[in-house]
Chains A and B, each alone.
Chain A
Amino acid sequence: MSKSLALIGRALTYLALSLAAFVSIFPFFWMVLGTTNTSADIIRGKTTPGGALVDNIIKFLNSFDIARVLFNSFLIAGLGTVLTLLVASLAGYGFEVFRSRFREKIFGGMLLMLSIPFAALMIPLFMMMASFRIINTYQAVILPGIASIFVIFYFRQATKAFPSELRDAARIDGLKEWQIFFYVYMPVMRSTYAAATIIVFMANWNSYLWPLIVLQTNEMKTLTLVVATLTAGYTPDFGVIMVGAIAATLPTLIIFFLLQRRFVEGMLGAVK
Chain B
Amino acid sequence: MTSFTSRWRRSLAAAALAGTSLFSVAAASAAELVVWCWDPNFNGATMQEAFSRYQAEHPDDTINVVIFDKAAMEQKLQAQLASGSTDGLPDIVLIEDYRAQKYLQSFPGAFEPLNSHIDYSTFAPYKVELATLNGQTYSLPFDSGVTGYFYRTDLLAEAGFGPEDLENITWDQLIEIGKTVKEETGQILLPIDPTGSDWIRIMLQSAGSWYFDADGNVTIAGNPVFKAALETYQRLIASGITTPVSGWTEYTGSFTSGKTLSTFSGVWMTATIKANPDQAGQWGVAPSPRLDGVEGAGNASNLGGSSWYVLSSAPQKEMAIDFLATIWGSDVDFYQKILVNQGALGSLLAAREGEAYQASDEFFSGQPVWQNFSDWLAEIPAVNYGIFTEEADAAVVAQVPAITSGGNIDDIIAAIDAQVRQQTQ
- Complex: A126 Cα to B72 Cα, angstroms: 16
| Minimum CB–CB distance for A58 against chain B, Å | 15
Kindly list chain B residues whose C-beta atoms are within 8 Å of the C-beta of A142: 20
The majority secondary structure among interface residues of chain B is mixed
| Minimum CB–CB distance for A239 against chain B, Å | 12
Q: Say whether, besides A39-B275, A130-B85, A232 and B79 are in contact (CB < 8 Å).
A: no
CB-based contact A212/B64 at 8 Å? no
Kindly list chain A residues whose C-beta atoms are within 8 Å of the C-beta of B84: 127
- Complex: A167 Cα to B80 Cα, angstroms: 49
Q: Say whether, besides A45-B253, A217-B64, A143 and B20 are in contact (CB < 8 Å).
A: yes
Q: Which residue of B lies closest to A228 (CB)?
A: B69
| Minimum CB–CB distance for B80 against chain A, Å | 7
CB-based contact B16/A135 at 8 Å? no
A235 touches B (CB below 8 Å): yes
| Minimum CB–CB distance for B257 against chain A, Å | 5
Picked from B12, B23, B271, the residue with its CB within 8 Å of the CB of A138 is: B23
Q: Which residue of A lies closest to B84 (CB)?
A: A127
CB-based contact B12/A229 at 8 Å? no
B 295-317 binary contact with A (CB < 8 Å = 1; else 0) = 00000000000000000000000
The majority secondary structure among interface residues of chain A is helix
Kindly list chain B residues whose C-beta atoms are within 8 Å of the C-beta of A249: none
- Complex: A228 Cα to B249 Cα, angstroms: 17
CB-based contact B9/A132 at 8 Å? yes
8 Å CB contacts to B: which residues of A232-268? Answer: 232-235, 238
CB-based contact A43/B20 at 8 Å? no
Q: Say whether, besides A212-B72, A229-B69, A232-B70, A122 and B13 are in contact (CB < 8 Å).
A: no
CB-based contact B64/A43 at 8 Å? no
Kindly list chain A residues whose C-beta atoms are within 8 Å of the C-beta of B34: 216-217
| Minimum CB–CB distance for B3 against chain A, Å | 15
Kindly list chain A residues whose C-beta atoms are within 8 Å of the C-beta of B41: 233, 235
A203 touches B (CB below 8 Å): no
CB-based contact A234/B21 at 8 Å? no
Query: Which residue among B17, B66, B84 has the maximum number of chain A CB atoms within 10 Å of its CB?
Result: B66
Kindly list chain B residues whose C-beta atoms are within 8 Å of the C-beta of A63: 40
**Tally of chain B residues near chain A (CB < 8 A):** 46
CB-based contact A126/B24 at 8 Å? no
A147 touches B (CB below 8 Å): no
B206 touches A (CB below 8 Å): no
Kindly list chain B residues whose C-beta atoms are within 8 Å of the C-beta of A75: 22-23
CB-based contact A79/B256 at 8 Å? no
CB-based contact B88/A132 at 8 Å? no
A177 touches B (CB below 8 Å): no
8 Å CB contacts to A: which residues of B244-279? Answer: 249, 252-253, 256-257, 268, 271-272, 275-276
Picked from B16, B253, B272, the residue with its CB within 8 Å of the CB of A235 is: B272
CB-based contact B253/A43 at 8 Å? yes
A136 touches B (CB below 8 Å): yes
Kindly list chain A residues whose C-beta atoms are within 8 Å of the C-beta of B66: 216-218
- Complex: A40 Cα to B253 Cα, angstroms: 8
B87 touches A (CB below 8 Å): yes
CB-based contact B275/A44 at 8 Å? no
- Complex: A257 Cα to B67 Cα, angstroms: 34
A133 touches B (CB below 8 Å): yes
B 70-97 binary contact with A (CB < 8 Å = 1; else 0) = 1010011001101111011010000000
Kindly list chain B residues whose C-beta atoms are within 8 Å of the C-beta of A126: 79-80, 83, 85
Kindly list chain A residues whose C-beta atoms are within 8 Å of the C-beta of B9: 131-132
CB-based contact B76/A234 at 8 Å? no
Kindly list chain A residues whose C-beta atoms are within 8 Å of the C-beta of B23: 75, 138
Q: Say whether, besides A44-B257, A138-B23, A233 and B42 are in contact (CB < 8 Å).
A: yes
CB-based contact A136/B68 at 8 Å? no
CB-based contact B72/A217 at 8 Å? no
Picked from B13, B40, B275, the residue with its CB within 8 Å of the CB of A132 is: B13
A199 touches B (CB below 8 Å): no
CB-based contact A135/B88 at 8 Å? yes
Picked from B20, B25, B69, the residue with its CB within 8 Å of the CB of A220 is: B25
CB-based contact B85/A234 at 8 Å? no
CB-based contact B13/A134 at 8 Å? yes
A 194-226 binary contact with B (CB < 8 Å = 1; else 0) = 000000000000000100110011111000010
8 Å CB contacts to B: which residues of A97-151? Answer: 122-123, 126-127, 130-139, 142-143
Kindly list chain A residues whose C-beta atoms are within 8 Å of the C-beta of B276: 40
- Complex: A114 Cα to B42 Cα, angstroms: 41
B51 touches A (CB below 8 Å): no
Kindly list chain B residues whose C-beta atoms are within 8 Å of the C-beta of A216: 34, 66, 88, 90
- Complex: A209 Cα to B68 Cα, angstroms: 12
Kindly list chain B residues whose C-beta atoms are within 8 Å of the C-beta of A232: 38-40, 67-70, 72
8 Å CB contacts to A: which residues of B392-411? Answer: none
CB-based contact B22/A123 at 8 Å? no
CB-based contact A137/B25 at 8 Å? yes
Q: Which residue of B lies closest to A208 (CB)?
A: B72
- Complex: A79 Cα to B23 Cα, angstroms: 12
| Minimum CB–CB distance for B146 against chain A, Å | 15
- Complex: A270 Cα to B87 Cα, angstroms: 48
B19 touches A (CB below 8 Å): yes
| Minimum CB–CB distance for A231 against chain B, Å | 6
Besides the contacts A212-B75, A232-B40, what 8 more A-B pairs have beta carbons closer than 8 Å? A40-B276, A126-B79, A130-B83, A137-B24, A217-B34, A217-B66, A225-B68, A235-B41
Chain B residues at the A interface, C-beta cutoff of 8 Å: 9, 12-13, 16-17, 19-25, 34, 38-42, 64, 66-70, 72, 75-76, 79-80, 82-85, 87-88, 90, 249, 252-253, 256-257, 268, 271-272, 275-276
- The 20 sampled A-B contact pairs (Cβ below 8 Å) are A40-B275, A43-B256, A44-B257, A63-B40, A79-B20, A83-B20, A126-B80, A126-B85, A127-B84, A130-B85, A131-B9, A134-B13, A143-B16, A219-B25, A228-B69, A231-B69, A233-B39, A233-B42, A234-B268, A235-B275
Chain A residues at the B interface, C-beta cutoff of 8 Å: 39-40, 43-45, 63, 75, 79, 83, 122-123, 126-127, 130-139, 142-143, 209, 212-213, 216-220, 225, 228-229, 231-235, 238
